[in-house]
């Protein structure tokens, strides 16, 4: 999730906020800020025996931290088990460049109005910088900046693409689903288009891949945008997103480098088995990413209900990867975004860049690659990825631009504790499947994580709210 130009420019999104009722769920303590003071969960809940936790939370990403923080605020004894050597999960601020923190996972709060993450950011005193999807310079495949005529053509095809999808959603009475690409190609009579126009339609399609991380070949034309947008600005954190997860984690008991392998339950309680031993509790909150659930690497002793298994199998786990390039000086346009229309045979390659000079005052460019191409380059060496990025930049700014002095590259699909970047609605899935993913099993086994949040999947605030929901199931 990183920009919404295709929605804002079409006037098709950013409207009502159906989730606002749910957002107040973050008011879980007296301050109403989602962070239950500085309290360490001191007193174990009555039902817990020594060496046994009231609640075991699997995963210390934002959803697990939100659940644990909420429950600790209610006096519950909570233990977080985390496979990595750090908290945050898909919120991951790298400190590799001294004084220049960079976010390798989530960067933005999408829509600051009545967003629980905005409240947490204020509480943390985190500086926020607005980026504007309309502040963009568009470049054509030959490297030239789009002139007025080209700009109009870009906008025309963007609008036609959005319109084709909206019409399909409005008129599709039998609810027969197919992919975003096939709907658009059919509506725009693809075979009759010139190669230039096909490039511009593809450029428009790639926006959806960057937003939802799935391939447009797999993304459900009926449900791809079934999430509810939140009004307000898109802001990022020059000091890093970790400020939010650090605030939530204060005083909580987190056992890092504990890889959960199996989760068992019966009427007496839950047992969570890790590579470092087993832990007993009264309840478990499972926040494993959809990609991890799909991989089957964590076993569920008594098995999962059939509808939950179907949801795991049918929802999609997408990919959005980042490549930060650090340069000795700025040589690029002074807009928030640099957008590059590639040739047709280079679909999805290095199309979207954010200007770190505007966002964080550094000579840094951040290139994004989503979906199929984002997945493909995970198999490339760092040098190949940097060379690919530089190829696009040289086409635009000339062969004399400086080489980057350093880079940072993500490979989220290959990450065994994420197995992708965030979930999307794949052909064959329905929004109701997210409710099935979220559904508790009996009174002991609870589920959270971005993929379980029907109205705000794929976001930090959605993941946060899912953690609060699961915690409320336990705390009542
Ligand atoms: C590149 C990228 C860019 C993004 N950009 C944005 C953005 O700008 N704005 C936005 O709102 N959202 C964005 N997102 C999405 C957002 O980061 C996620 O929706 C959110 O952080 C997910 O939180 P979570 O708690 O559901 O999952 P996670 O953060 O993945 O937490 C799950 C935790 O479980 C742990 N775990 C996994 N397996 C095991 C195991 N076997 N045992 C123990 N622990 C395990 C993981 O290590 C992880 O810490 C982005 C994501 C990515 C990857």
The CATH number of whichever domain residue 60 belongs to comes to: 3.50.50.60
The residue with greater pLDDT, 177 or 28, is 177
More confident residue, 139 or 23: 139
Q: C-alpha distances in angstroms, 282 versus 49, 63, 278, 444?
A: 10, 19, 14, 7
Q: How many residues does the chain have?
A: 476
Nearest-CA residue for ligand 1 atom 41 is: 260
Q: Over 90: is that where the pLDDT of 309 sits?
A: yes
Position 306 in a domain: yes
Q: Is residue 15 part of a domain?
A: yes
CB 351 within 8 A of CB 206: yes
Contacts of 199 (CB under 8 A, 6+ apart): 141, 341, 342, 343, 344
**Per-residue pLDDT band at 383 (split at 50, 70, 90):** very high
Question: Considering the chain, what percentage of its residues have pLDDT values greater than 70?
Answer: 89
- pLDDT at residue number 31: 36
pLDDT at position 3 over 70: no
Closest atom of ligand 1 to CA, residue 66: 25
The pLDDT, as a whole number, for residue 24 is 29
In a domain, 75, yes or no: yes
Residue 201 has pLDDT above 80, yes or no: yes
How much is the pLDDT for 360? Answer: 87
What number is the average pLDDT over the span 190-215? 98
Query: What was the pLDDT predicted at 52?
Result: 87
Segment 154-170 mean pLDDT: 97
Task: Write out the residue range of the structural domain in which residue 294 sits.
Answer: 11-93+114-129+234-316+423-475
Q: Give the chain's domain count.
A: 1
354 located within any domain: no
Nearest ligand 1 atom to the CA of 461 is 11
Q: Which of 255, 289, 446, 464 to mutate to test the pocket of ligand 1 (most atoms within 8 A of CB)?
A: 289
Q: Is residue 415 part of a domain?
A: no
pLDDT at 171: 83
Q: Is 204 annotated as a binding residue?
A: no
Given the DSSP bridges, would you call strands 352-355 and 337-340 parallel, antiparallel or unpaired?
Answer: antiparallel
Of 60, 422, 424, 448, which is best to mutate to test ligand 1, by the most ligand atoms within 8 angstroms of its C-beta? Answer: 422
User: Mind listing the pLDDT tens digit for each residue in 271-307?
Assistant: 999 999 999 999 999 999 999 999 999 999 999 999 9
Mutate to test the pocket of ligand 1, among 106, 210, 248, 468 (most ligand atoms within 8 A of CB): 106
Q: Is residue 155 part of a domain?
A: no
Atom of ligand 1 nearest to the CA of 462: 19
CA-closest residue to ligand 1 atom 7: 106
Please tell me the residue having the least CA distance from ligand 1 atom 12. Answer: 459
- Give the pLDDT of residue 2: 55
Q: Are 67 and 77 in contact (CB under 8 A)?
A: no
Enumerate residues lining ligand 1, CB below 6 A.
1-2, 58-64, 81-84, 89-91, 105-108, 110, 259-260, 287-289, 292, 298, 320, 322, 410, 412, 417-418, 421-422, 449-450, 458-460, 463
CA of 289 to the centre of ligand 1 (A): 7
Report the separation in Å between the CA atom of 171 and the middle of ligand 1, taken as the mean of its atom positions.
35
Average pLDDT over residues 50-61: 89
222 domain-assigned: no
Please check the confidence at residue 396 and state whether its pLDDT lies above 70: yes
Closest CA to 262 of 277, 246, 242, 283: 277
The separation between CA 283 and the C-alpha centre of its own chain, rounded to angstroms, equals: 27
**What are the angstrom distances between the C-alpha of 175 and each of 187, 370, 406, 423?**
17, 27, 49, 22
Q: How much is the average pLDDT of 2-31?
A: 35
Average pLDDT over residues 301-314: 97
Residue minimizing CA distance to atom 4 of ligand 1: 106
- Report which of 21, 28, 2, 4 is spatially closest to residue 471, judged by C-alpha positions: 28
332 C-beta neighbours (distance < 10 Å), count: 18
Over residues 316-342, the pLDDT tens digits come to 999 999 999 999 999 999 999 999 999
Residue 17 lies in a domain: yes
Q: Whose CA is nearest to atom 31 of ligand 1?
A: 61
- What is the rounded CA–CA span in Å between residue 457 and residue 230? 12
Ligand 1 atom index nearest CA of 450: 26
Q: Quote the ligand 1 centre to 228 CA distance (angstroms).
A: 19
Confidence band, pLDDT 50/70/90 cuts, at residue 9: very low
Residue 421: pLDDT over 50: yes
Instruction: Output the residue whose Cα is nearest ligand 1's atom 2.
Output: 105
Question: Looking at ligand 1, which atom is closest to the CA of residue 418?
Answer: 30
Distance (Å) of CA 77 to CA 39, 50, 260, 269, 278: 12, 11, 19, 14, 17
φ, ψ dihedrals at 191, nearest 5°: -60, -25
Q: What is the pLDDT of residue 16?
A: 25
- Distance in Å, CA 471 to ligand 1 centroid: 18
Nearest CA, atom 38, ligand 1? 417
By alpha-carbon position, which residue is closest to atom 53 of ligand 1?
A: 421
Other C-beta atoms closer than 10 Å to the C-beta of 220 total 26
What angle, rounded to 10 degrees, do the helices at 116-124 and 242-249 form?
80
Mutate to test the pocket of ligand 1, among 104, 105, 352 (most ligand atoms within 8 A of CB): 105
Annotated ligand binding at 82? The verdict is yes
Q: Are strands 316-318 and 320-326 parallel, antiparallel or unpaired?
A: unpaired
Q: Which pLDDT score is estimated for 476?
A: 83
From the CA of 182, how far away is ligand 1's center (Å)? 30
Which atom of ligand 1 is nearest to 274's Cα?
42
């Amino acid at each position: 999730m990183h920009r919404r130009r295709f929605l804002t420019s079409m006037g098709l999104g950013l409207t009502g906020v159906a989730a606002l009722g749910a957002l107040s769920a973050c008011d879980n303590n007296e301050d109403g800020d989602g962070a239950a003071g500085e309290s360490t969960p001191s007193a174990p809940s009555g039902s817990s025996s020594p060496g046994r936790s009231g609640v075991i939370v699997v995963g210390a990403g934002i959803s697990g931290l939100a659940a644990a923080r909420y429950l600790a605020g209610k006096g519950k004894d909570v233990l977080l088990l985390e496979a990595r050597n750090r908290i945050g999960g898909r919120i991951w601020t790298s400190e590799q460049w001294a004084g220049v923190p960079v976010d390798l996972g989530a960067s933005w709060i999408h829509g600051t109005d009545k967003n629980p993450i905005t409240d947490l950011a204020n509480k943390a005193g985190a500086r926020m910088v607005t980026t504007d999807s309309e502040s963009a310079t568009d470049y054509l495949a030959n490297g030239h900046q789009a002139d007025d005529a080209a700009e109009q053509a870009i906008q025309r095809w963007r609008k036609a693409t959005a319109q084709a999808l909206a019409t399909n959603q409005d008129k599709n009475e039998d609810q027969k689903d197919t992919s975003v690409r096939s709907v658009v190609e059919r509506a725009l009579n693809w075979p009759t288009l010139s190669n230039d126009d096909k490039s511009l339609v593809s450029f428009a399609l790639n926006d959806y891949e960057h937003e939802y991380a799935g391939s447009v070949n797999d993304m459900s034309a009926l449900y791809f945008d079934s999430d509810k947008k939140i009004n307000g600005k898109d802001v990022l954190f020059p000091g890093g997103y970790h400020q939010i997860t650090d605030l939530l984690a204060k005083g909580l008991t987190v056992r890092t480098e504990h890889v959960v392998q199996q989760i068992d339950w019966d009427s007496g309680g839950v047992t969570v088995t890790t590579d470092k031993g087993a832990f007993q509790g009264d309840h478990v909150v499972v926040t494993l990413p959809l990609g991890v659930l799909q991989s089957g690497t964590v076993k569920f002793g008594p098995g999962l209900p059939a509808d939950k298994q179907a949801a795991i199998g049918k929802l999609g786990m997408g990919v959005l990867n980042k490549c930060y390039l650090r340069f000795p000086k700025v040589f690029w346009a002074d807009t928030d975004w640099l957008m590059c229309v590639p040739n047709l045979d280079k679909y999805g390659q290095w199309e979207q860049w954010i200007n770190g000079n505007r966002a964080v005052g550094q000579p840094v460019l951040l290139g994004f690659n989503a979906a199929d191409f984002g997945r493909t380059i995970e198999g490339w060496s760092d040098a190949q990825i940097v060379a690919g990025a530089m190829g696009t930049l040289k086409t635009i700014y000339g062969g004399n631009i400086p080489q980057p002095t350093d880079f940072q590259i993500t490979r989220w699909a290959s990450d065994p504790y994420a197995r992708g970047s965030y979930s999307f609605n794949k052909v064959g899935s329905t929004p109701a499947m997210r409710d099935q993913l979220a559904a508790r099993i009996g009174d002991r086994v609870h589920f959270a994580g971005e993929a379980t949040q029907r109205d705000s999947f794929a976001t930090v605030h959605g993941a946060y709210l899912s953690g609060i929901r699961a915690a409320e199931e336990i705390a009542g």
